[in-house]
């Protein structure tokens, strides 16, 4: 297939200072959870984007000096010449595919706790941004920077830029956003200086201008100089001559950098999940920049639609289509558009599992793309997979996210595949949960896979086919894969924090029952110790049905785990907007229609109660593994039926997130004929040298 002409504009080259991007697809700087400790993993994760057609591929944030340390979060660094080698590995990998490689030079200033290096943080005026979240709280204040500190600060950027040039980078960033480094000097509430670097806007911009000029003089003949600038906070500060200080800063520095990368100052806003933002939601913060500069502008917006990308360019919003999450979900998104295969794009669902991986300090994971993070370690490619034996037949029971991914990947490998689904609809939990408020994009997990499966002549799909163990034995398959999912339990937590039996009598519901259409009597209490999205989504759903809802949880926040996915604050705001009551740090200990008894998680003898017509328990899932257990209860029967292996995958094996299920399905498809469910794992190993 050939490219649709209406997308030609996306493949035009763009000049960025002394270099030229081959197209408008731009993988913006974003962390990938490898830091500098996993150079091969990092290089492979970036290389696959370049291979997939992204014209520019950037690193994540890269520290320029030991006074900017973000441990235990994984960051990269350019502190000395030894660090050049780590970056050169990635640069060479990106260049192999004709893309430009960029590096985001970062100094955290007062936003770095420096837990590893123990260097006292420094900032414009000794004012550090505060946080209410334990992992981000620094117990050390920053110190004000002296003029000598500022001179050294400028020198660190120059030194790091020269090392970046030695590594082969084409684009060198100055990061002036999200409360870091030079950005702190721009903010009047963080810059209280009375010297030439404080006070009026000209003075507050001085350091950013000097750094840009210094770096441009040092490496600007061969490298493009980009500035990454957060605008939303400064858009609220009235300007003297223009609408806001954000407008004035861009106007003052308009053509000094070779590229403007414009973003939000709040990472939870920039990476807002699909539950709380639409495609292109960053436009209010970046649309004002292009009229103020002749240089190209890039921004993000969780862009997955090529038509929306074209709109951004034709309306004069952006010159380059920036992406982090869409490039994770489908590294080959540009190539698929170029080849007229846009219907095969593995669209980002905006669930932010990738964000949670970074918070976990591990390589990125993705619900849509199970190969993310496994490119080097397991030699998994997002588009290529080793061929299998077409004479081998595989029966998959269950067409939820695990079963669908297993069938898709096995079909791609060339096996003869039969997919049996008990219900009339495919997708399992994805189909059900995508009907919850804000989760419509999650249906893409189903749709991407079913669209490809229906093009595969070697994959047969049977709906309304609930199979027994004997049906599986009689199927004639060589391998059986059981992907029958899980169900929510009404079990609760005892006051020791461990699961125990649920409450007797009517009025108690599980999420499955609510999602199947059950009508609870109000007022409704949702007892949530799952701590992810289900409790708050159900609260919103029932509230919109006109019921009074209270969430009770043993945690100290609604959907507490969603701090990891940058959704916690948005969920709390949504609950407040909907007048959904919340009770924290309480166990449910007794229920009768009319009242739910509670006990403090700290002192179980502190007992209270809450009005409750119905109780929805959101906490524990149990695997629907009856078929798997029955099949494996008699290994001789399996052998006599000619079945080599019987595997369980996804929630049937161990209930978890949709990302876990998709990964399990893919892993099974990759390893079903190897006899090793884990397959090959390569390990990054430190090089240890000994002094004589």
**Closest residue by Cα to residue 57 from 98, 10, 101, 110:** 101
> Are the C-beta atoms of 565 and 356 separated by less than 8 Å?
yes
26 catalytic? Reply is no
Across 175-203, b (16+ Cβ under 10 Å) vs e yields: bbbbbbbbbbbbbeebbebeeebbeebeb
Count of all residues that appear for the chain in the document: 692
**Closest residue by Cα to residue 441 from 507, 546, 533, 511:** 533
Angle, helix 39-51 to helix 82-95, in steps of 10 degrees: 20
Q: How far is the C-alpha of 434 from the C-alpha of 422, rounded, in Å?
A: 19
Of 26, 61, 180, 358, the active-site residue reads 180
Which residues 6+ apart lie within 8 Å of 171 measured at CB?
A: 16, 19, 56, 58, 100, 101, 102, 103, 223, 224, 225, 226, 259
**Closest residue by Cα to residue 59 from 81, 28, 84, 95:** 28
> Are the C-beta atoms of 253 and 208 separated by less than 8 Å?
yes
Query: What is each CA distance from 304 to 341, 381, 659, in whole angstroms?
Result: 13, 20, 19
Coil, strand or helix at 420: strand
Q: How far is the C-alpha of 162 from the C-alpha of 306, rounded, in Å?
A: 37
> Are the C-beta atoms of 21 and 301 separated by less than 8 Å?
no
Which two tokens mark 50?
């370049």
**Closest residue by Cα to residue 198 from 157, 147, 258:** 147
The DSSP-derived string for 546-595 is T--EEEEESSSSTTGGGGTTT-HHHHHHHHHHTT-EEEESEEEEEEETTE
Residues known to be catalytic: 180
């Amino acid at each position: 297939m050939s490219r649709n002409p209406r997308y030609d504009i996306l493949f035009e080259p763009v000049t960025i200072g002394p270099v030229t991007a081959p197209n408008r697809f731009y993988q913006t700087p974003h962390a990938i959870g490898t830091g500098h400790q996993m150079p091969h993993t990092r290089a492979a994760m970036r290389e696959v984007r370049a291979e997939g057609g992204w014209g520019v591929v950037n690193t994540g944030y890269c520290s320029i000096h030991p006074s900017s340390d973000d441990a235990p979060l994984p960051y990269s660094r350019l502190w000395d010449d030894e660090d050049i080698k780590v970056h050169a590995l990635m640069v060479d990998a990106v260049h192999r595919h004709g893309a430009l490689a960029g590096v985001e030079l970062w100094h955290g200033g007062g936003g770095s706790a420096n837990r590893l290096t123990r260097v006292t943080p420094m900032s414009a005026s000794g004012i550090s941004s505060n946080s209410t979240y334990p992992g981000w709280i620094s117990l050390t204040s920053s110190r004000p920077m002296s003029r000598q500190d500022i001179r050294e600060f400028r020198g660190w950027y120059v030194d790091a830029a020269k090392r970046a040039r030695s590594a082969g980078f084409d684009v060198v960033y100055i990061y002036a956003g999200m409360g870091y480094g030079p950005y702190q000097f721009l903010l009047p509430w963080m810059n209280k200086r009375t010297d030439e670097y404080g006070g009026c806007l000209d003075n507050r911009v001085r350091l950013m201008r000097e750094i840009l000029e210094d770096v441009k003089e040092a490496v600007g003949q061969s490298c493009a100089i980009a500035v990454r600038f957060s605008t939303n906070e400064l858009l609220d500060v009235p300007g003297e001559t223009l609408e806001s200080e954000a407008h004035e800063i861009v106007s003052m520095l308009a053509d000094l950098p070779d590229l403007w990368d414009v973003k939000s100052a709040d990472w939870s806003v920039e990476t807002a999940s699909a539950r709380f933002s639409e495609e292109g939601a960053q436009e209010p913060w970046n649309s004002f920049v292009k009229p103020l500069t002749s240089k190209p502008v890039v921004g993000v917006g969780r862009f997955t639609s090529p038509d929306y990308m074209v709109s951004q360019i034709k309306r004069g919003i952006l010159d380059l289509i920036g992406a982090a999450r869409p490039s994770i979900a489908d590294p080959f998104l540009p190539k698929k558009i170029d080849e007229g295969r846009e219907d095969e794009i593995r669209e980002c669902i905006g669930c932010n599992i990738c964000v949670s991986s970074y918070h976990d300090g591990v390589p990125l994971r993705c619900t849509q793309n199970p190969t993310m993070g496994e490119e080097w370690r397991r030699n998994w490619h997002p588009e290529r997979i080793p061929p299998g034996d077409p004479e081998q037949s595989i029966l998959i029971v269950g067409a939820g996210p695990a079963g669908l991914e297993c069938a898709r990947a096995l079909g791609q490998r060339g096996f003869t595949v039969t997919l049996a689904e008990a219900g009339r609809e495919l997708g399992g939990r994805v189909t059900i949960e995508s009907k919850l408020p804000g989760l419509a994009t999650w249906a893409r997990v189903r749709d991407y896979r079913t669209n490809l499966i229906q093009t595969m002549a070697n994959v047969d799909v049977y709906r309304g086919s609930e199979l027994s163990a004997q049906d599986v034995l009689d199927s004639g398959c060589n391998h059986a894969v059981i992907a029958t999912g899980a169900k929510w339990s009404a079990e609760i937590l005892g006051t020791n924090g461990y699961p125990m039996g649920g409450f007797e009598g009517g009025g108690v519901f599980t999420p499955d029952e609510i999602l199947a259409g059950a009508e609870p009597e109000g007022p409704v209490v949702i007892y949530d110790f799952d701590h992810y999205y289900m409790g708050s989504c159900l609260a919103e759903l029932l509230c919109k049905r006109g019921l009074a809802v209270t969430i009770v949880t043993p945690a100290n926040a609604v959907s507490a785990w969603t701090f990891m996915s940058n959704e916690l604050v948005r969920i709390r705001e949504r609950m407040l907007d909907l007048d959904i009551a919340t009770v924290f740090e309480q166990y449910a200990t007794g229920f009768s229609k009319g009242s739910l008894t509670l006990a403090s998680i700290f002192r179980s003898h502190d007992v209270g109660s809450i009005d409750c017509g119905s109780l929805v328990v959101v906490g524990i899932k149990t695997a629907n593994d009856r078929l798997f257990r029955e099949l494996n209860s008699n290994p001789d029967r399996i052998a006599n039926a000619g079945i080599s292996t019987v595997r369980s995958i996804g929630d049937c094996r161990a209930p978890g997130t949709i990302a876990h299920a998709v990964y399990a399905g893919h892993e099974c498809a990759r390893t079903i004929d190897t006899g090793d469910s884990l397959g090959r794992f390569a390990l990054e190993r430190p090089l240890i040298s000994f002094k004589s």
